[in-house]
Amino acid sequence: MGNRLWRKLIIVLLITAFLFPQSLSAHSEKQGAAVNEQKDQSPFRPPVFQEASVHDPSVIRVNDTFYVFGSHLAAAKTDDWMRWETIASGVDDKNKLIPNVKEELKETFDWAETDTLWAPDVIQLEDGRFYLYYNACRGDSPRSALGVAVADDIEGPYRDQGIILKSGMWGEPSEDGTIYDARIHPNVVDPDAFFDKEGNFWMVYGSYSGGIFILKMDPETGKPLPGQGYGKKLTGGNHSRIEGPYIQYSPDTDYYYLFLSFGGLDANGGYNIRVARSKNPDGPYYDAEGNNMIDVKADPDQPLFDDRSIEPYGVKLMGNFRFQGNDGPATGYVSPGHNSTYYDPDTDQYFLIFHTRFPERGEEHEVRVHPMFINEQGWPVVAPYRYSGETVAEVSPADVIGDYQLINHGKDISTDIKESKSIRLESNGTISGEVNGKWKKTGPYTVKLTVDQAVYHGVFLRQWDPVSEREVMTVSALSKEGVAIWGSRIIDREVMD
């Protein structure tokens, strides 16, 4: 009976297929289309973020955890770059990083005539201990002290080892033996301690005043090698608004990249992140146009903090911007800056870690981490959106053709917010819309764009758009003039609904 029943069913199906082939085919096509439509409309797995407010975040990895240390003795940690846990904040005796901090660093506070601490850096040396380079500054002048404290555990407690540099000694001999002059001598804050590819130990530092300097360090004591004074100058001077130096070596290019923040850090300061590069840790550093950064300084004949003299220099990676959003509210940053970076040798990934403020949110600030890539010209390009677990992957022309919002970060230091413009990457390789040009894939995920006659080299990357709450295609690229552009693909309303 069972065999007879199956034979009857098979005969019925064959007859149905013979008499109504188009109906079965149409049903199959609709089912396939529905599956594909569902796949196209399904959201990228939503990332989960947990915020932290650490100003001037300097990163260090300990095992599988990333820590950032910042101003006002704040610190936070994460194991995925997205969910941060605050572990310390506030210069008071309850802070576990430096217990009894007011007494422990009394000499520092007395010299700097302040009651708070500025941007620190932490590094682990060969003895296994952690060295925290703290600094304090009066603020309205470069009267500052920079010292080092040591701990057996990354989360403290740190014990003071003493001041290693001072500045702001008006009318008195400075660290190099000459009378202190803030136009040519540094403000001893914003340290970044690092090892070069040969294993030599360095510290770069400085903010405004006489510029950015670098010192050779002793890896056994954690202090500068003797006889250097303030060290070697790399850039800045005449009170130019350049600060927050951070040096990252890239094994992919064999360059050292000097990251800097230009402008003022508050919401109306026009803070922006720039970079220059060198084959040597102590320079000379050059920007994409070949300018030697040692020549970059404010015009002494102009008013204090002259930005116009310095804004043409350095590769500007990011400043104030706002994407208008995919049928939703705008999203962007205000005064992003004072960054650190991280290179993962196991995955060959680069990350940019910084603090930023936001449009219409005043002085509130949070930590942000963005993926970063080295373009075909050997310069870092920063992805437009924060990291959410994505990795670079091959894209096809069909993946990237469509409508985008375009940000041009320019080279200016300004309180203005760069608003996005509407463009389209056409299938014939042209760019239409509010700007014109052409585009061409140059590799699995790399691209060359010509926008208003300027040539940009960069990468395509799928990222999480926080407004549409969807995965979208993005593009980030740099020109030989040191200008960054970002693109974020606009998702059609029909696809989003």
Please indicate, yes or no, if residue 372 is contained in any of the structural domains. yes
Calpha distance 122→132 (Å, rounded): 4
10 domain residue, yes or no: no
Average pLDDT over residues 305-318: 97
User: How far is CA 365 from its chain centroid?
Assistant: 14
Position 492 scores a pLDDT of 65
The one-character DSSP state at 71 is G
Per-residue pLDDT at 15: 33
Lowest mean pLDDT, pick from 11-20, 204-213, 400-409: 11-20
Structural domain containing residue 455: 397-489
Are both 206 and 354 inside the same structural domain?
yes
31 has pLDDT over 70: no
Specify the pLDDT at position 177.
Answer: 97
Confidence (pLDDT) at 493: 44
Quote the Cα angle for 432-436-438, to 5°: 85
Per-residue model confidence (pLDDT) at position 263: 98
Which helix (H) or strand (E) element contains residue 8? helix 2-19
> Would 281 be classed as within a structural domain?
yes
Distances, alpha carbon 80 to alpha carbons 20, 77, 342, 385, in Å: 55, 9, 13, 16
Question: Looking at the structure, do residues 318 and 402 belong to the same domain, yes or no?
Answer: no
Lowest mean pLDDT among 8-12, 37-41, 91-95, 313-317: 37-41
Sheet holding 331-344, edge to edge: 380-382, 366-374, 349-357, 331-344, 321-323, 418-419
Examine residue 65 and state whether it is found in any structural domain, yes or no.
yes
Beta bridge partners of 355: 337, 367
**Co-location of 236 and 307 in the same domain:** yes
Can you give the pLDDT at residue 412?
A: 98
Q: Which residue has the tokens 């065999």?
A: 3
Q: What is the pTM of this model?
A: 0.90
- What Å distances lie between residue 247 and 54, 139, 221, 310, CA to CA? 20, 24, 21, 20
Question: Which runs of consecutive H residues, i.e. helices, occur in 20-113?
Answer: 21-41, 101-104, 106-112
Q: Are residues 116 and 91 in the same domain?
A: yes
- Mind listing the pLDDT tens digit for each residue in 388-446? 999 999 999 999 999 999 999 999 999 999 999 999 999 999 999 999 999 999 999 99
In the chain, what is the straight-line distance between the N-terminal and C-terminal CA atoms, in Å?
51
Q: Which of 351, 382, 413 is the last residue of a domain?
A: 382
**Res. 231 pLDDT band, cuts 50 70 90:** very high
DSSP category for residue 124 = E
User: Dihedral through CA 241, CA 244, CA 245, CA 248, nearest 10?
Assistant: -140
pLDDT at 400: 98
How many domains does the chain contain in total? 2
**Residues above pLDDT 70, as percent of the chain:** 89
Same domain membership, residue 402 and residue 304: no
pLDDT higher than 80, residue 155 = yes
Looking at the fold, whether 178 and 137 belong to one and the same domain comes out as: yes
- Summary mean pLDDT of the chain: 91
User: Do 235 and 260 meet the contact criterion of CB atoms below 8 Å apart?
Assistant: yes
pLDDT tops 60 at residue 226 = yes
User: What six digits make up the tokens of 240?
Assistant: 């130019």
- pLDDT, residue 375, reads 98
Q: Is a pLDDT exceeding 70 seen at residue 27?
A: no
The answer as to whether 171 is a domain residue is: yes
Per-residue pLDDT tens digits for 447-495: 999 999 999 999 999 999 998 889 999 999 999 999 999 999 998 643 4
Per-residue confidence (pLDDT) for residue 303, from 0 to 100: 86
- List Cβ neighbours of 355 (8 Å cut-off, separation of 6 or more): 53, 54, 55, 56, 57, 70, 336, 337, 338, 365, 366, 367, 368
413 lies in the same domain as 334: no
Please tell me the predicted confidence (pLDDT) of residue 284: 98
pLDDT at 28 over 60: no
Q: Could you tell me the two tokens for 348?
A: 């060959």
Q: What is the pLDDT of residues 126-153, one digit of tens each?
A: 999 999 999 999 999 999 999 999 999 9
Q: Which of 36-45, 48-57, 231-240, 260-269 is predicted least confidently?
A: 36-45
Which residue, of 324, 353, 382, is where some domain finishes? 382
Task: Decide: 319 and 484 in contact? Cβ < 8 Å.
Answer: no
Nearest-angstrom CA–CA distance, 268 and 273: 15
Q: Is the pLDDT reported for residue 333 higher than 70?
A: yes
Q: Which residues are catalytic?
A: 56, 243
With cut-offs at 50, 70 and 90, classify the pLDDT of residue 17.
very low
What pLDDT does residue 43 have? Answer: 46
Structure tokens, 215 = 């010192």
Kindly give, in sequence order, each residue whose CB lies less than 8 Å from that of residue 151, ignoring residues fewer than 6 positions away. Answer: 129, 130, 132, 157, 158, 159
Same domain, 186 and 285: yes
- Split at pLDDT 50, 70, 90, the class of 23 is very low
Q: Is residue 173 part of a domain?
A: yes
Do 258 and 321 belong to one domain?
A: yes
- Domain membership flag for residue 28: no
Last residue of a domain, which of 321, 347, 382? 382
The lowest-confidence range among 7-21, 261-275, 454-468 is 7-21
From the centroid of its chain, how far is CA 468?
A: 23
Question: What local confidence, expressed as pLDDT, does residue 142 receive?
Answer: 98
β-pairing, 321-323 with 418-419? parallel
Give the SS3 label for residue 401. coil
* Confidence at residue 328, expressed as pLDDT on a 0 to 100 scale: 57
At residue 315, what are phi and psi to the nearest 5 degrees? -90, 115
Based on the fold, state whether residues 218 and 192 are members of the same structural domain: yes
* 262 and 175 share one domain: yes
The identity of residue 11, as a single letter, is: I
- Assign residue 330 the CATH number of its domain: 2.115.10.20
Note whether 120 and 252 are same-domain residues: yes
pLDDT at 269 over 90: yes
Q: Is residue 365 part of a domain?
A: yes
- pLDDT given at position 44: 54
Q: Which domain CATH number covers 465?
A: 2.40.128.10
Instruction: Please give the pLDDT value at position 254.
Output: 98
What is the maximal distance between C-alpha atoms in the chain? 111
